[in-house]
Amino acid sequence: MSKTPVALIVDDEPDILQLLSITLVRMGIDTFKAENLAQAYQHLENQEFDVCLTDMRLPDGDGIELIQFIQTNYPNLPVALITAHGNMEIAIEAMKAGAFDFLSKPVDLHALKNLIGSAIKLNLPNKSAKEIPARPKKQLIGDTSVMKQLKQTILKLSRSQAPVFINGESGTGKELVARLIHFKGPRSDAPFVPVNCGAIPSELMESEFFGHKKGSFTGAINDKKGLFQSANGGTLFLDEIAELPLPMQVKLLRAIQEKTVRPIGSETEVPTNVRILSASHKNLLKLVETDEFRQDLFYRINVIELTVPALRDRVEDIPKIAEYLLNQLAQVHGVGHLRLSQDALNRLCHYEFPGNIRELENLLERAITLCNDEEICAEDLNLPQSSSSMLPLKSNIPIGERGHLSLDEYLEKIETFEINQALQAADGNKTQAAKLLGISFRAMRYKLKKLAID
Ligand SMILES: Nc1ncnc2c1ncn2[C@@H]1O[C@H](COP(=O)(O)OP(=O)(O)OP(=O)(O)O)[C@@H](O)[C@H]1O
Which pLDDT value is given to residue 4? 86
Ligand 1 within 6 A of 142 CB? yes
Looking at the fold, whether 263 and 289 belong to one and the same domain comes out as yes
429 lies in some domain? yes
In a domain, 181, yes or no: yes
Residue with CA closest to ligand 1 atom 15: 173
pLDDT in tens, the chain (454 residues): 468 889 999 999 998 899 899 989 988 899 999 999 999 999 999 999 999 999 999 999 999 999 999 988 988 899 999 987 667 888 888 998 889 998 888 888 888 888 888 888 877 654 444 444 444 478 999 999 999 999 999 999 998 999 999 999 999 999 999 999 999 998 998 999 999 998 888 888 999 999 988 877 777 778 888 999 999 999 999 999 999 999 999 999 999 988 899 999 999 999 999 999 999 999 999 999 999 999 999 999 998 999 999 999 999 999 999 999 999 888 888 888 888 999 999 999 989 898 899 999 999 988 888 787 888 988 888 886 543 443 333 345 556 666 677 788 778 888 888 888 888 888 888 888 888 888 888 888 888 988 888 7
Dihedral angle at the C-alpha atoms of 242, 243, 246, 252, nearest 10 degrees?
-80
Query: Per the domain annotation, does 295 fall within a domain?
Result: yes
Are the beta carbons of 401 and 433 closer than 8 angstroms?
A: no
Instruction: Provide the CATH number for the domain around residue 58.
Output: 3.40.50.2300
CA atoms of 68 and 81, how far apart (whole Å): 12
Let me know: does 294 contact 254? Beta carbons within 8 Å. no
| Alpha carbons 258 and 269: distance in angstroms, whole number | 10
Distance 183 CA to ligand 1 centre (A): 16
Residues 347, 334: Cα–Cα separation, whole Å: 26
Instruction: Please give the ipTM for the structure prediction.
Output: 0.98
Is 29 a domain residue?
A: yes
Q: Check pocket membership of 243 for ligand 1, CB cut-off 6 A.
A: no
Q: Is the CB of 435 under 6 A from ligand 1?
A: yes
Co-location of 292 and 316 in the same domain: no
CATH for 243: 3.40.50.300
H/E/C letters for each residue in 304-327?
Answer: EEEECCCHHHHHHHHHHHHHHHHH
- Is the shortest distance between the CB of 242 and ligand 1 below 6 Å? no
Indicate which atom in ligand 1 lies nearest the CA of residue 172.
21
On whether both 87 and 10 belong to a single domain, the answer is yes
Same domain, yes or no: 16 and 84 = yes
Residues 198 and 344 in one domain: no
To test the pocket of ligand 1, the residue of 356, 358, 432, 436 to mutate (highest count of ligand atoms within 8 Å of its CB) is 358
* Centroid of ligand 1 to alpha carbon of 340 (angstroms): 21
Distance (Å) from CA 361 to ligand 1 centroid = 9
* Residue 377 belongs to some domain of the structure: yes
Residue nearest to atom 9 of ligand 1 (CA): 173
Name, in order, each residue with C-beta under 8 angstroms of 296's C-beta and a sequence gap of 6 or more.
253
282 in ligand 1 pocket by Cβ < 6 Å? no
Ligand 1 nearest atom to the CA of residue 142, by list position:
1
Choosing from 366, 381, 396, the residue where a domain stops is: 381
303/315 same-domain check = no
Same domain, 28 and 84: yes
How far is the centre of ligand 1, averaged over its atoms, from the C-alpha of 140 (Å)? Answer: 9
If one counts the domains in the chain, the total is 4
Residue with CA closest to ligand 1 atom 23: 171
- Rounded-to-integer distance, Cα 387 and Cα 344, Å: 11
Nearest atom within ligand 1 for CA of residue 138: 31
- Establish whether residue 179 lines the binding site of ligand 1, counting it when its CB lies within 6 angstroms of any ligand atom: no
Ligand 1 pocket residue status of 138, Cβ below 6 Å: yes
Q: Residue 393: inside a domain, yes or no?
A: no
Domain that holds residue 371: 311-381
CATH of the domain at 441: 1.10.10.60
CB of 256 closer than 8 Å to CB of 276: yes
- Of 278, 307, 336, the residue at which a domain comes to its end is 307
Q: State which of 264, 288, 307 marks the end of a domain.
A: 307
Three-class secondary structure assignment of the chain: CCCCCEEEEECCCHHHHHHHHHHHHHCCCEEEEECCHHHHHHHHHHCCCCEEEEECEECCEEHHHHHHHHHHHCCCCCEEEEECCCCHHHHHHHHHCCCCEEEECCCCHHHHHHHHHHHHHHCCCCCCCCCCCCCCCCCCCCCCHHHHHHHHHHHHHHCCCCCEEEECCCCCCHHHHHHHHHHCCCCCCCCEEEEECCCCCHHHHHHHHHEECCCCCCCCCCCEECHHHHCCCCEEEEECHHHCCHHHHHHHHHHHHHCEECCECCCCCEECCCEEEEEECCCHHHHHHCCCCCHHHHHHHCCEEEECCCHHHHHHHHHHHHHHHHHHHHHHHCCCCCEECHHHHHHHHCCCCCCHHHHHHHHHHHHHHHCCCCEECHHHHCCCCCCCCCCCCCCCCCCCCCCCCCHHHHHHHHHHHHHHHHHHHCCCCHHHHHHHHCCCHHHHHHHHHHCCCC
For the Cβ of 357 lying below 6 angstroms from any atom of ligand 1, the answer is yes
The pLDDT of residue 106: 84
Give the C-alpha separation, 328 to 321, whole Å. 11
The answer, yes or no, to whether any atom of ligand 1 lies below 6 A from the CB of 362, is no
Whether residue 364 has its Cβ less than 6 Å from ligand 1: no
> Does ligand 1 have an atom closer than 6 angstroms to the CB of 168?
yes
Q: Are residues 322 and 290 in the same domain?
A: no
Q: Please tell me if the CB atom of residue 172 comes closer than 6 angstroms to any atom of ligand 1.
A: yes
Nearest to 133 by CA among 88, 184, 92: 184
Report the CATH number that the domain containing residue 372 is assigned in CATH. Answer: 1.10.8.60
Those residues whose C-beta lies under 8 Å from the C-beta of residue 180, and which sit 6 or more positions away, are: 136, 140, 154, 158
Q: How far is CA 363 from CA 221, 381, 389, in A?
A: 44, 6, 16
| Pair 438, 287: CB distance under 8 Å | no
296 and 239 in one domain? yes
The verdict on 330 and 411 lying in the same domain is: no
Residue 363 burial (CB count, 10 A)? 22
Q: With a 6 A CB cut-off, is 174 part of the ligand 1 pocket?
A: yes
Whether the CB of 326 sits within 6 Å of ligand 1: no
CA–centroid distance, residue 281 to ligand 1 (Å): 13
Q: Work out which ligand 1 atom sits closest to the CA atom of 141.
A: 3
Domain-embedded: residue 391: no
The candidate with the shortest Cα–Cα distance to 132, out of 91, 97, 183, is 183
Whether 26 maps to a domain, the answer reads yes
Distances in whole angstroms, Cα of residue 396 to Cα of each of 7, 399, 415: 67, 9, 12
Whole-number pLDDT of residue 146: 93
Q: How far is CA 36 from CA 41, 269, 331, in A?
A: 9, 37, 59
**Do 167 and 33 share a domain, yes or no?**
no
Cα of 113 vs its chain's centroid, Å? 25
- Report the separation in Å between the CA atom of 99 and the middle of ligand 1, taken as the mean of its atom positions: 29
Closest atom of ligand 1 to CA, residue 435: 26
For residues 298 and 324, membership in a common domain is answered with: no
